[in-house]
Amino acid sequence: MTYQELSEQIAQKQSYLCVGLDTDLKKLPHHLLTEPDPVFAFNRAIIDATADLAVAYKPNIAFYEAQGPRGWESLQKTLDYIPANCFTIADAKRGDIGNTSGLYARAFFDPAAAGLHFDSITVAPYMGHDSVTPFLDYEGKWVILLALTSNPGSADFQRQSLGEQELFEAVIETANSWAGPDRIMFVVGATQAAELGRIRQLAPKNFLLVPGVGAQGGSLEDVSRYGLTTDGGLLVNASRSILYASGGTDFARRARAEAVSLQQEMARHLQAIR
């Protein structure tokens, strides 16, 4: 999906909601456990309940990897089920030396390899340019680079001062020399809304993937005020608050209600910046 197409989806759905498919077998409603593939059965119901409200889906790969080979089968079926008008994110936080990053790119981008065909992947920046650019060699695919994450440990290194700027700012500035905003997004935690103004100056056009609204305590209003652009410019992720809104047979209906509530607030913020 191109920058323009993603922007149009946001305008059309009046939403910049990304649903995080962090599907934990231990948290599934009990009635699904008799399904042949409970994780996929759950994801399918969540996608059915939210596809008109979400512009993106983001499976966190750890949840699938922890199930072994059958987890990768569930991931494949889930990815294949996501409608074509939704942007797909492999939240994998990969990154290695050049030839090895090339293999991770093949794993997530090239359906002829492992079967997967994500639009984008999250990548850790620590190893620098040649750990990131192999992902950009896949035309039309996106890198979503960790910049300022939502967790407490973000203070350990990302907030360290390099003199004029902090490490996360150097990451954004440097990465923007590798490719344009049509190929690179940045991860900025919703708990870091105070820094979004500075980030927007360094990355005026880039989409920002913002986790941490909901369970992690970030504010959608703050994130939207500082992060929205006339192109949209935000993908705000919610996972647990939608997936586990109910642990009963009404889980999909309750998930939709949560998604509707987020989408309606997003529509207000989008109208405010027009």
Catalytic residues: 93
- State in angstroms the smallest separation of the CB of 98 from its own copies: 6
How many Cα neighbours within 13 Å face the side chain of 254? 13
Residue 162 C-beta: closest distance to its own copies, Å: 5
Tokens found for residue 33:
């456990």
Least distance (Å) between residue 225 CB and its own copies? 24
Q: Which is nearer to its own copies, 48 or 96 (CB)?
A: 96
| Closer CB to its own copies, 120 or 131, in the complex | 131
**Beta carbons of 123 and 149 less than 8 angstroms apart:** no
Q: Contact residues for its own copies (CB under 8 A)?
A: 22, 60, 62-63, 65-73, 76, 93-98, 100-101, 103-104, 106-107, 113-116, 124-132, 146, 149-158, 160-163, 167, 170-171, 174
How big is the chain, counted in residues? 274
Looking at the Cβ atoms of 15 and 131, the one nearer to its own copies is 131
Q: How far is the CB of 245 from its own copies (least distance, A)?
A: 18
- Our measurement of the distance from residue 40's CA atom to the centroid of its chain's CA atoms, rounded to an integer in Å, reads 19
Q: Closest CB to its own copies among 26 and 274? A: 26
Instruction: Report DSSP letters for 190-232, one per residue.
Output: GGGGGGHHHHHHH-SS--EEE--BSTT-B-HHHHHHHH-BTTB
What are phi and psi for residue 235, nearest 5 degrees?
A: -125, 110
